[in-house]
Amino acid sequence: MFHRLKNDFRLSIITLLGISAILGITPFAIMRFIQGNVVAGVVDLGILAGIVGSLAYAWVTGDTRRSGMFLAFIICASAVLVGAVMGEAGLFWLFPCLVTTFFLVSSRIAAGLNIVSVLALMSIETAFSSPVQMWTFAATAATVSACAYVFAYRNQDQRERLEHLATIDPLTGVKNRRSMDEELDLAAANAERTGLPYALVMMDLDHFKQINDVYGHGVGDDVLTDLVALIEHNTRKSDQLFRYGGEEFVLLLPGVDGNSLQTVMTNLQQILRKHLKYPGGPVTSSFGVALLRHGESIDSWLSRADEALYKAKESGRDTIIFADESDQRLAVPA
């Protein structure tokens, strides 16, 4: 639970707002029924039901876009309704809603929702005691919305930049190990649901240390970026490459079964043998390949590929080893 709250910004906002709204509205609902104001009590209960519903929907489905949209709509509509029913005393509820919408939906949708809410309230004659009060309300609501828009826009931009930095390897531009863990989880869940086969290739450049030692780190870096460009140009769009660490990469291949896997891997090996070079000659690679088994954990999948890679190194490098015993084959030498 805390893991989901920590990793999903919108879910944490929806939860915080949901709980605050429940705690804030429930006493008012009870008070209205005690005072005999049944209409206002029922309105409060309706608002509560909507908020609790969207909170539950976000947690059960994980669809925070839709529940955020629903929650933003509910709170704005509720604030307009409260303003219409209670008049002056209810107007103030719109201000927290004008700020909150920017945390629940995109800045543009939030701005649109705010404008519609303010105009809706202004169109209700009984909501304001005088035209001066109405225009003062409109001006202050516009100021609050504009400030919230600027803040939310900058916040979203910075969050996207941080997310990008946290998931991308700066040297090669491919996804890093952190995002690999997430993608492998998604792949395993998809395989379980649809039966789509997934292959995982763990690959490591051979004698890479020598390239660095003899020609310098800059040349080593060039080899790594060339490797990534070659793989990306010679694999499908749906395939994903990750930098696992150092000169070790992981390639995730969806929709490749045991039969086509050998062809795919032999082609890739030959392309790298032919085109991946450093000033001292060609650079070769070793590969460990594992097909995801039914119900297998990510750790087991990775460790089978890793063991296969280890065997490829042990058997002299420049080799492909398949982890699955029923499908274990050495690639045809060049």
Ligand X SMILES: Nc1nc2c(ncn2[C@@H]2O[C@H](COP(=O)(O)OP(=O)(O)OP(=O)(O)O)[C@@H](O)[C@H]2O)c(=O)[nH]1
Residues labelled catalytic: 247
Q: Which of these ranges, 18-26, 36-44, 202-210, 288-296, lies near ligand X under the rule CB under 6 A?
A: 202-210
Q: Does 284 bind ligand X (CB under 6 A)?
A: no
Determine if 278 is a binding residue for ligand X (CB under 6 A): no
Q: CB of residue 245 vs ligand X: minimum separation in angstroms? A: 8
Q: How far is the CB of 176 from ligand X (least distance, A)?
A: 12
Q: Which of 209, 236, 274, 293 binds ligand X (CB under 6 A)?
A: 209
Count of residues engaged in binding ligand X, rule: CB under 6 A: 16
Judged by CB under 6 A, does residue 208 bind ligand X? yes
Nearer to ligand X, 31 or 166 (CB): 166
SS3 at position 257: coil
In b/e form, how buried is each residue of 130-147, taking b as 16+ CB within 10 angstroms?
eeeebeebeeebeebbee
Q: How far is the CB of 149 from ligand X (least distance, A)?
A: 41
Nearer to ligand X, 90 or 220 (CB): 220
- Nearer to ligand X among residue 226 and residue 324 (C-beta): 226
The size of the chain, in residues, is 334
Which residues in 295-334 contact ligand X (CB under 6 A)? 313, 317
Q: 245-251, long-range: CB within 8 Å, 24+ apart, which pairs? A: 245/177, 246/208, 247/204, 247/205, 247/208, 247/220, 248/202, 248/203, 248/204, 249/174, 249/202, 249/203, 249/204, 250/180, 250/200, 250/201, 250/202, 250/203, 250/302, 250/305, 251/200, 251/201, 251/203
Question: Based on CB atoms, which residue is closest to ligand X, 206 or 296?
Answer: 206
- Sign of the alpha-carbon dihedral angle for 125, 128, 131, 134: negative
SS3 300: helix
Which member of 82, 202, 203, 247 binds ligand X (CB under 6 A)?
247
Contact positions vs ligand X (CB under 6 A): 171, 204-209, 212, 217, 220-221, 224, 246-247, 313, 317
